[in-house]
Structure 1
Amino acid sequence: MIRKSDFYLEGGRLGVLLIHGLTGTPMEMRLLGKGLHGAGFTVHGMQLAGHCGDTDDLLATGWRDWYASVEAAADAMRARVDHLFVGGLSMGALLALKLAADRPGQVAGVGVYGATFRYDGWSIPWLARLSFLLPFLKTLGLGRNRVFLEQPPYGLRDERLREQVSAAMRSGDSTIAGLLGNPWHSLADLYQLSARVRRQLHQVTAPCLVAHASDDDVASVRNAELVLRGVSAPSELLLLQDSYHMITIDKERRTLIERSARFFQVVAARHGHPVPA
């Protein structure tokens, strides 16, 4: 099912499903998607269930709903392509890894962009670093109306883009830059998803390109190292030196596009598929 904020770019028989992060939108994956499409891929930038609306829309869903929307998008795309790759940013990276773990015969490779198992970057306030306790509070029914507000630099080293994104979040139009804050109960679901994916990492047998900002303000490089240690497939690490958390739109997005396209093409070639022209 194509949702209102999805984008779909028809290309060749190699497909890439792109998954945005918690409270985010497909817009944060569009530049990467356009670059991959330019390299010959068919690309679907999907909208997660409960996203691109208001806080109540998000709170009406949980990680199982978000993952179910990923599975539905993957099923639709597999009918159109010969090999399916999946890439995700932040929480989207966790959903991509879970899909690869659950469907080893269907996912050819994974783009793991700024994986966020824990919010432990340098811009995260000390109270927010305790958010791993939120699943417990949620079981008690506490904090449903509480929100952790996004903090500068909003995952962006590019100051011009940072101001644009900040203005879009303040405008209230969540289809452009997402919500201004992370609801406690949604963060609780993120940590439940995180624990599930950590236990499943060894089931990921598809090659992974693990890309992370070396100075990530939201999720430290320890998150990327966790993936590299846990997955069972040969994987590559791409450390970006001039970006913050939102590596799909920040200063080194062209490097990310080029490395992602090349990585997916090499994996496809191993399966005997001609690389896109």
Structure 2
Amino acid sequence: MSTDGAIFHAGDAHAVLLLHGLSSSPLEMRFLARALHREGFTVSAPMIDGYSLDPARPAMEGWIDAAVAEFDALARQYRFVSVCGLSMGATLALAVAQRRPSAQALALLSTTLDYDGWAIPWYRFVLSWLYYSPWRRRWRYRETAPFGLRNAALRAKVARSMENTDFSEIGPATLSLPAIHEASRLAVHVRKRLPVIRSDCLLIHAIDDETASPKNARLVLARIGSVFQRAIFLDDSYHMITVDNEREIVARETVVFLRESEAAASGAARRAPVVSRALARRLRQIASVAK
């Protein structure tokens, strides 16, 4: 990890751009970044100007421009570039793929096109009106339990961290109203453009996601123009699936999907099955159970 919080691990010719959640940092992608790198991928989880770490003046057009610039920097050096995003980062990943059809694959984790989970307060409907009031620079949405975590021990750790520093490995303790407003604009922007996105698409979503219900993933599946799609729904996690109970499943399935996509693009899928180290371990586990 660099001094500014970004993560970069050099690997093979398949680079993965990791996009964290709204006003957060690459910390919430750290486990996945390490898992991808162990399997040989080049990994880049940048800080995005105007998007990371509670920006003072957020603008969704700037988020897209900055993320596309990160994609282009990788595309100049690596044969394949895929994009993986968490929460609003998944929505941003879709915007990148719309601007850059050359994106090999998308891994969309806890996709957030609408804040409609069971823990979202009823007053979310009035936030768009509040944005245009004198309170918009002062009002902040405070994160509360379960903090996107089903794991009780991690939840307690995050609660202590947020009390002391207003920030934790799963993001900020509060979100500004301008940031939430721009996130809503980004979601509207992406919804309209889903049919033009053709990149291979993996969606992983928790069925009990308290922030963004599974309807978000199902909407993407129904409207995106991808031919190669896969959806995985988790039953032991909440919103922050890159750090919660099933983070290893998330990492494993992401690795397998990206390698399958790469092999198909290379023509290798017609010659031989794709066997990454993660997939090989899974096949050995299945074989041992069968015995």
Matched, 1:239 2:233: yes
d(CA) in 2 for partners of 1:148, 1:268: 40
1:120 is matched with which residue? 116
User: One-letter code of the match for 2:255?
Assistant: A
d(CA) in 2 for partners of 1:177, 1:113: 14
8 A contact 1:31–1:248 mirrored in 2: yes
TM-score (norm 2): 0.87
d(CA) in 2 for partners of 1:223, 1:177: 20
Cα shift at 1:36: 0.7
Cα–Cα, structure 1 residues 166 and 66, in superposed 2: closer, same or farther, change >3 Å?
A: farther
Cα shift at 1:23: 2.0
Q: 2:77 aligns with which of 80, 83, 86?
A: 80
2:10 is matched with which residue? 10
Cα shift at 1:169: 2.4
Q: Deviations 1:152-204 (Å, cap 9, x if unpaired)?
A: 10000111111222222222264744321111111110110000000010111
2:66 is matched with which residue? 69
Cα–Cα, structure 1 residues 5 and 175, in superposed 2: closer, same or farther, change >3 Å?
A: farther
User: One-letter code of the match for 2:88?
Assistant: M
d(CA) in 2 for partners of 1:228, 1:246: 20
User: One-letter code of the match for 1:75?
Assistant: D
1:44 is matched with which residue? 44
Q: Deviations 1:31-70 (Å, cap 9, x if unpaired)?
A: 01110111110000112223554x5xx1322212222221
The secondary structure found in structure 1 opposite 2:233 is strand
Cα–Cα, structure 1 residues 45 and 175, in superposed 2: closer, same or farther, change >3 Å?
A: farther
d(CA) in 2 for partners of 1:171, 1:273: 52
User: One-letter code of the match for 1:178?
Assistant: G
Of 84-93 and 227-236, deviating more is 227-236
Cα shift at 1:77: 1.2
1:211 is matched with which residue? 204
Q: 2:103 aligns with which of 107, 112, 121?
A: 107
The secondary structure found in structure 2 opposite 1:145 is coil
8 A contact 1:108–1:267 mirrored in 2: yes
1:181 is matched with which residue? 174
The structure whose RCO (Cα within 8 Å, separation 6+) is larger is 1
8 A contact 2:21–2:171 mirrored in 1: no
2:262 is matched with which residue? 268
Q: Deviations 1:121-148 (Å, cap 9, x if unpaired)?
A: 11111113x15x52x5435555221011
Q: Percent identity?
A: 33
Q: Deviations 1:185-228 (Å, cap 9, x if unpaired)?
A: 11110110000000010111001101100110111000001110
Length, aligned pairs only: 269
The secondary structure found in structure 1 opposite 2:172 is coil
| Structure possessing the higher radius of gyration over alpha carbons | 2
Of 137-146 and 150-159, deviating more is 137-146
d(CA) in 2 for partners of 1:197, 1:76: 23
User: One-letter code of the match for 2:231?
Assistant: L
Over the aligned positions, Cα root-mean-square deviation in angstroms equals: 1.9
d(CA) in 2 for partners of 1:226, 1:189: 20
Matched, 1:223 2:220: no
The secondary structure found in structure 2 opposite 1:271 is helix
Cα shift at 1:99: 0.8
8 A contact 2:88–2:113 mirrored in 1: yes
d(CA) in 2 for partners of 1:156, 1:66: 26
The secondary structure found in structure 1 opposite 2:96 is helix
The secondary structure found in structure 2 opposite 1:18 is strand
2:288 is matched with which residue? none
8 A contact 1:17–1:86 mirrored in 2: yes
8 A contact 2:68–2:99 mirrored in 1: no
